[in-house]
Every structure is written in structure tokens, then in C-alpha cells.
Structure 1
Amino acid sequence: MKKKSLRSLTMLCLIAGSTVIFSCKNEEKKEDVPVPMQNEMHQPEEEQVVEAYEGEELQAEFREEIIAKIYNSYVEIKNAFVNSDAATASREAANLAEIATDKEKIAVIAKAIAAADDVNKQREEFSKLTAAMEPILDNALESGAIYKQYCPMAFEGKGDYWYSNSKDIFNPYFGDKMLKCGRIETTIQ
């Protein structure tokens, strides 16, 4: 009789344990399912926002016309990276290299972006371009603002910066993968 009770108790524990394990696994699957759906639901909205962003005009005025041209070209390259468009980034970088003849470091980096075919290699060069833009943009504005933005996840968590005309975040390092990842680090006025 004791053996039968012990067997029944063991079987009951196994059944209860199996039920709990399978219930938890099903619950985990339920949590995983909405994540892709949420991304798919927001995808068209993000594409519309990117289009509106590309049409945004510079509100800042520069003291020197050449700096304005260099910055506008920089923004066109950034916009190409937001769209993960290597061909447009190459074309705009070649344009920047022609404009920035007096700014050798910027011209060299722009040529490297133009020469690269892979958007990820181009983004690495864009990081260098952003760093080279900083001393040029310092005290360059007559009026308006430029936003220095930061993504902590760029380059495998090392983080990196870019400049923008807008307070809105459009991440050039991840494009549509993480379009809104980032924050405004400083405002240049």
C-alpha cells in the first residue's frame, strides 16, 4: 500500500512539474511573439518620418559660406547613412571632397567614404568625419542651432556622435535597424 502511495505521489509530482514547465515555456513564447509584430507595425511610420527628415532644411546660419557648404554636404552623407544607402553616401562624400579642398583632413576622409562600397566601412569613416567636423563647427554659427547627437550602441557599444539640423534622432550608424537610438549630447549655437 505504501509503495502504491509513493508511486502515485511521484507520478503526481512529475505531472505537476511537467505542467509547470510546459506552461512557462508557452508563456515565454507569448512574450516573444509581440516584439516582431510591434516592429512591423511601426516600420511604415518610421519610413515616413525618414522621408520628412530628408526634406528638412538647415535653420542655422554660418559665419563663412564654405563652412555652410561643408556642413550641408556632411548632412547629406548622414542622411544617406540613415537610409543605409552606400551609393548615395559615396556620391555625397565625393561632393564633399571637392568642396573641402581647404580642409585637408575632411577631404581625405570624404574620399575614403566615397571609395568604400560597404555601408558599414563607410560608417566607420563617417565617425572620423564627424570628429573632424567638430573644430570646424566650433564658433562657426552666426545664428540658429546644430545638434550633436550620440548613440551609445554604435560600434559594438563603444558609442559615437553625429551632427544634425533637428532635435529628432535619426541614427546614421544603424539606419532603419535602430533609427531612433540616440540622444542630443550638446547644442551648438
Structure 2
Amino acid sequence: MKRTILCVSLLALSLTACKNDAKSNEEATAEERTEQTKEANTEDLPLAFNSDEQYQIARLYLDLKDKLVQEDSYGAKKIAEIMMKKFSDEEKKNKAEEIANNEDNIENQRNAFFQLSQMLEPTFAETITSGKLYQQHCPMAFDGKGAFWFSTEEEIMNPYFGDKMLHCGKVEGIIK
């Protein structure tokens, strides 16, 4: 009987000690998970910029890119007309106007879009506060000279070739 009581006491003591160790490990693991979740969430936050105006320009740019992917020159024209009103910078306004005025020539729209992408790169890099933009590049655009654009998706959807070479390109950088 004494032996049974001693065994049960030792077993209870071991379980209590193991339970306390498990609790410490669970707390440490919970803290690690919380830290990992915080890190992951900063990457998965929605796109945001210093101001609502900058956010609107970024959204219009991304919509314009999508219209060029779809080879929708009329849709690109309409978005560019809105962009013209949003830009305070004359050079950017002129590029948007060039896109709007070339509804009948999607290649000219695409060329102006690339120039607009170059102009917006510093703005995006300096004013993004959350989310991320993938800088994607097609080496075959413009007779092998290459061109880049920005996207919120990692998947390549090429605005310079549309259906002809929809997935031509690669991610070259991320702005976050």
C-alpha cells in the first residue's frame, strides 16, 4: 500500500512538473507565434500611402495596367482622363493625356504607360505605408529594350503584350 501511495505521489508530482514546463513552453511558443504573426501581417496589409490622393493615384495606375493587360484601349483612355485630373505634376498629367488621346493606338498607350511607370516609381517608393507593390519587368517589351510596371499581385500579367505574351516577365523588386 505504501508503495502504491508513493508511486501515485511521484506520478502526480511528475505530472505537475511536466505541466508547468509545458505551460512555460506554451507561453514562449505563443509569444513566438504572436511575433511571427505581426511580421507576416505587415506584409499582408492592404495597400496604403501617406495620403488618400496618393492611394487614389496608385489605384488608378493599377486599374490602367489591368486595362492594358486586357487590351482595352477605351478603358485605358477613361482611366487616364481621371488621372489627368488627379495629377498636380504637369509631366505626369501630360503622360496621362497622351494615354487618353491614343485610344486608337494601344502601342502608344503602352509606351506612355511605361514612361508614367518610371515617373511614379519614386512616388510609390517614398509614400507607401503598408502593403506592397511588385516591380515586374518584361525584357521583350519595346523591341527587346524591356520595360517595367507595378502590380499588387506577384503573378505576371504583362500590360505590354496582353494575350500575346500574358505571362512574359519576372518580379524584379518589391516596394513595401
TM more than 0.5: yes
Find the residue that maps to 1:149 and give its secondary structure.
strand
Is 1:150–1:159's contact at 8 Å kept on the other side of the alignment?
yes
Q: Equivalent residue for 2:171? A: 184
Runs of 4+ in 1 over 2 A off after TM superposition: none
- The aligned counterpart of 1:113 is 99
Distance 1:85 1:133 in 2: 22
The count of corresponding residues between Structure 1 and Structure 2 is 131
Partner of residue 79 from structure 2, selected from 83, 87, 92: 92
Percent identity reads 37
Structure 2 counterpart of 1:103: 89
Q: For 1:89 and 1:187, how far apart are their aligned partners in 2?
A: 25
Offset of residue 163 of structure 1: 0.5
| CA RMSD across the alignment | 1.2
Q: Distance in 2 between matches of 1:105 and 1:136?
A: 14
Do structure 1's residue 122 and structure 2's residue 88 form an aligned pair?
no
Q: Give the partner amino acid of 1:107.
A: K
Q: Which has the larger radius of gyration?
A: 2
Structure 2 alignment gaps of length 5 or more: 1-44
Q: 2:132 aligns with which of 140, 145, 153?
A: 145
CA displacement, residues 119-147 of structure 1 (integer Å, 9 cap, x when unaligned):
01111111111011112112211111111
Q: Provide the TM-score with structure 2 as the length reference.
A: 0.72
Structure 1 CA distance for aligned equivalents of residues 130 and 68 of structure 2: 27
Correspondence for 1:77: 64
- TM-score normalized by the length of structure 1: 0.67
SS of aligned partner of 1:185: strand
> After the TM superposition, which residues 40-79 of structure 1 pair with which residues of structure 2 at under 5 Å, given as runs?
59-79=46-66
CA contact (8 A) 1:59 1:165 kept: no
